[in-house]
Structure 1
Amino acid sequence: MNNGNRGVVFVSGASSGFGMRTTALLATEGYHVIAAARHRDRLEDLCAKNTDLAVFPLEVDVRDREGLAQSVHRLPAEFRDVSAVINNAGLSKGFEPVQSGIWDNWREMVETNVVGLLNVTNLLLPRLVERGSGHVVNVGSIAGNYPYLGGNVYAATKAFVHQLTLNMRADLHGTGVRASCIAPGKAETEFALVRHGGNRELARETYRGITPLDADDVAEAVSWCLSRPPHVNITMIEIMPTDQPFSLGFVPPRTEPTGTAKGTDL
């Protein structure tokens, strides 16, 4: 239900996955949402599905700081007073170990997950500080907290997101602006499809035998962080499927013993 304008929220990576569902949920809750993404057609589809809600499509690449700055400068009046920023845009490519990593994949991850987040933050955070209130929610990953084979550069970019959030909290002390990080585990979005280079079979294999998170689980966590009273700052939330203990590893299925174990006389 739309409860009137509860503030203006900028969501990056809004054309799919966590960003799309976060945009839709926050708009339903009464926020004015700037849906930022590279894909115009997807943004148009998102707005078409939410015609009665306040969603402004912003076609932009967060890696392009100049283009992003120009787009933010041209925002309509009703979307200029940004009160919250959801740094969601990010991706992962490849599972190669560091010693055989693909440079172009590394560069794309760093430019999107690190530089893109810094571009958005650098342009919008001063507005929040100036208004004396606001909230930045950075979407990280449990890969930033727990290592796994092939995680390397992607995990390092997410560790950056986590550590930046903590330092933002220190820097923002006394400003009235809050900073949070949400670290999801395995979630069934387009993430795996991108990581596997568009191979749908391998992407589906990622979730075999488990019930993964979905985009709504993360969107609801973002909404909950924003909804806390001003004196409450949720610093970090880890969200994982019940079937996922840590990182991207899984506990093997339990099996009944096939024989009787022989003890040792002591």
Structure 2
Amino acid sequence: MISLKNQIVVITGASSGIGSACARVFAGAGAKLILVARRLDRLQQLADELSKEFSIETYLLQLDVSDRHAVESSIISLPPAWSAIDILINNAGLSRGLDKLHEGDWQNWEEMIDTNIKGLLYLTRYIVPGMVTRGRGHVVNLGSIAGHQTYPGGNVYCATKAAVKAISEGLKQDLLGTPIRVTSVDPGMVETEFSEVRFHGDRERAKKVYQGVQPLTPEDVADVIFFCTTRSPHVNINEVILMPVDQASATLVHRQT
């Protein structure tokens, strides 16, 4: 098992859900965290909690990952003490709507494509070259069961997660011959702000997604990510699909009545 003490870990979408849970588990291992999100107040609150509980260092980046110029500027201008990034967790992502494709909202499409695909690409493009130069590093991409199985109304969201799967596989192939590791962690139902964001703040509709089911928690997913990043250096866990016991596929869910 690799020690993560003092390793520099970038976590996008760190202000809530899986990103926040990752921050806690990596902080517990003594890592130094670069926390990335659009909501600076949430990041600051998380950083204060982590500092108090684990006495670790954090560096905050208020950033929209879909803004390529902002991503480039933020990574290039990192202080020397924070620039040698060891682990990149591309967690930032979202879903918008459940419309049929021919009735879809193009603004929803663009937001999903810009965040889930372009944002992941931008962070990867500006961070991985340094990993290659230093001869160490690990990229963890948050995919989804939606990248493996399409479901009604999921069209564009599923396409973005299928892209994450393809990008992860392609990156692993492109990095062959280097010690850089690439992992895609692809969860099924996880109870986070995901459904609330998908339904534009409709909390009642979001609650129904998880009704009668014990979904995964953000901590469950963070635990798997932590496991992947702490294996022996010669071990690469390419892909993990994890789902609640009550879920058998993207659409097949057992609900307690």
Letter in 2 for 1:20: S
How far the C-alpha of 1:188 sits from its partner, in A, is 0.5
Instruction: Give the partner amino acid of 2:94.
Output: L
- Residue aligning to 1:19: 19
Identity rate, percent: 41
- Displaced runs of 4 or more, over 4 A: none
Counterpart residue identity of residue 41, structure 2 = D
Equivalent in the alignment of 1:106:
109
Post-superposition Cα deviations, 1:102-130, rounded to whole Å, max 9, x if no partner, equal 10000000000001001101100101111
Shift of 1:40: 0.7
The change in CA–CA distance for 1:135 and 1:253 in structure 2 (over 3 A counts) is same
Partners of 2:211 and 2:255 within 8 A in 1: no
Change (3 A) 1:226 1:6: farther
Kept in 2: contact 1:137–1:222 (CA 8 A): yes
Aligned to 1:179: 182
Match of 2:138 among 135, 138, 144: 135
Q: Which residue matches 1:218?
A: 221
Deviation for aligned residue 1:23: 1.2
Aligned-residue CA RMSD (Å): 1.4
What residue is the counterpart of 1:192 in the other structure? 195
* Corresponding residue number in structure 1 for 2:84: 81
251 and 54 in structure 1: CA distance in 2 versus 1, 3 angstrom threshold: same
Following superposition, the deviation at residue 74 of structure 1 comes to: 2.4
CA gap of 1:7–1:252, structure 2 versus 1, over 3 A, is closer
1:202-229 deviations in whole A, cap 9, x for unaligned? 0110100000001001111111111001
Q: Which amino acid aligns with 1:191?
A: F
Aligned to 2:156: 153
1:76 positional shift: 2.7
Gaps of 5+ in 2: none
Count of residue pairs the alignment pairs up: 252
Q: With structure 2 as the length reference, what TM-score do the two structures score?
A: 0.95
Looking at structure 1, the residues matched to 198 and 82 of structure 2 have their Cα atoms a distance apart, in angstroms, of 33
Q: Relative CO higher for 1 or 2, CA cutoff 8 Å, sep ≥ 6?
A: 2
The answer to whether 1:31 aligns with 2:31 is yes
